[in-house]
Structure formats: C-alpha cells, structure tokens
Amino acid sequence: MIALLLRDLRLAVRAGGGFGLGLAFFLIVTVLVPLGVGPQTALLARIAPGVLWIGALLACLLSLDRIFALDREDGSLDLLATAPLPMEGIAFVKALAHWITTGLPLVAAAPLLGVLLNLPTPGYLWLLVSLALGTPALSVIGTFGAALTVGLKRGGLLLSLLVLPLYVPTLIFGAEAARRGAEGMDVQTPLLMLAGISAGAVALLPFASAAVLRINLR
C-alpha cells in the first residue's frame, strides 16, 4: 500500500503537471469572483468563506478523472487488480494520494487566497479547520465517482454530474462552519457534522469504490 501511495505521489509530482493544476485553478476562481461581483470589501468579506469552499470543491473536481484514467489506459490498473492488495485498499490509497496532492495544497493555499477576498481575521483558523476536515470527504467521494466512470470514453462531464450532488452535504456543513467562524459564531455543530461525514465517507466509500472498480474491470 505504501509503495502504491509513493508511486502515485511521484507520478503526480513529476508527470503530467496534475499537481499544480488544482492550485492554479483555485487561484483563478478566487481572482475571478471579485471581478464578477465587484470590489466592495464588505461584500467580499461576507461571501469569502463560501467562495473559498466552492473554489476548493471545484479544484478537487477538476483533478478527479486523473485518479484512475491514466492507470486504466496503460493497463496498470489491471495489474493492480490482480495484485495481492485488496481492491478496497487500492481505492483507499488512490483517494489518499488524491487528497495529499490536491486536498492538502488547497487547505494550505486557502488562507493566502482568503487575504485576496478580505476574509475577517477570526475566519482563517476555522476556514483551515473546516477545509482540513472536509477535503478528505471530497477526495473519497470523488474517487467513487472516478471509479464509476473509469470505463467511459467521455467520462469527465458525467463524472461532475454524478459527483456534485454527492458533494452537497459536505459543502453545506463546510461552508457553514467557515462562515460561522468568520462571523465569530459557535462553529462546533457544523464542524462535528463535517467530521462525521468525512469519517463515514472514508470508512465506507472505499468499499463502494472497490465494488464499482471490480465491475468495471471484469
């Protein structure tokens, strides 16, 4: 499992440029929002947590089809399937690699982009915490979607149609926690719900992804 994780990480960093792509997309979305809604700092400060969450979510979505597509093309996914590692483990490691290469950089970059959107000072901590708790769920759900569409030629658009409704609860609780944090309100309830969704998704969805992968590879 560790070897597979290291391989995926190396591939993401060295080949294809998938590593920086999500971050660049996140940056561009954050720059485009003030251009679209106008530069009033009060308005930006109010919508900043939500915009950053949506930006992170879309950046996550952008890199999803890379999770399995490349491995499927060069046949290494079939090799992995016949390896002694159980399919559930493969799905989990793939999600973990996606989170490390996409989710973690997004979490780290979010406070910097918060400056651009004039995020209120108390909001930074809770934005970080909510993203750190929520992005694992985004990665695991996305891996499930990627596993569903791995056999399709034009899976990209379908992938977003399948995955975005599944992202709804995560987005609601995550953005709510960040917003409450920014306004200095109590953040415990949404944070707990967000952590619950993440923990549940990480625990259960690899099984669904593995089942779907087995169907797609047969």
Which parts of this chain interact with another protein (CB under 8 A)? Answer: 144, 148-149, 151-152, 155, 158, 161-162, 164-166, 168-169, 172-173, 176, 180, 189-190, 193, 197, 205, 208, 211-212, 215-216, 218
Nearer to another protein, 57 or 205 (CB): 205
DSSP-assigned states of every residue in the chain:
-HHHHHHHHHHHHHSTTHHHHHHHHHHHHHHHHHHHH---HHHHHHHHHHHHHHHHHHHHHHTTTHHHHHHHHTTHHHHHHHSSS-HHHHHHHHHHHHIIIIIHHHHHHHHHHHHHTT--TTHHHHHHHHHHHHHHHHHHHHHHHHHHTTT-TTHHHHHHHHHHHHHHHHHHHHHHHHHHHHTT---HHHHHHHHHHHHHHHHHHHHHHHHHHHHHH-
Nearer to another protein, 3 or 168 (CB): 168
Angle of helix 41-62 relative to helix 123-148, nearest 10 degrees, comes to 30
Nearer to another protein, 19 or 207 (CB): 207
Closest distance of CB 175 from another protein, Å: 9
Closest distance of CB 59 from another protein, Å: 21
Closest distance of CB 49 from another protein, Å: 12
Nearer to another protein, 98 or 179 (CB): 179
Closest distance of CB 9 from another protein, Å: 27
Nearer to another protein, 109 or 208 (CB): 208
Nearer to another protein, 9 or 152 (CB): 152
Closest distance of CB 168 from another protein, Å: 4
Closest distance of CB 176 from another protein, Å: 6
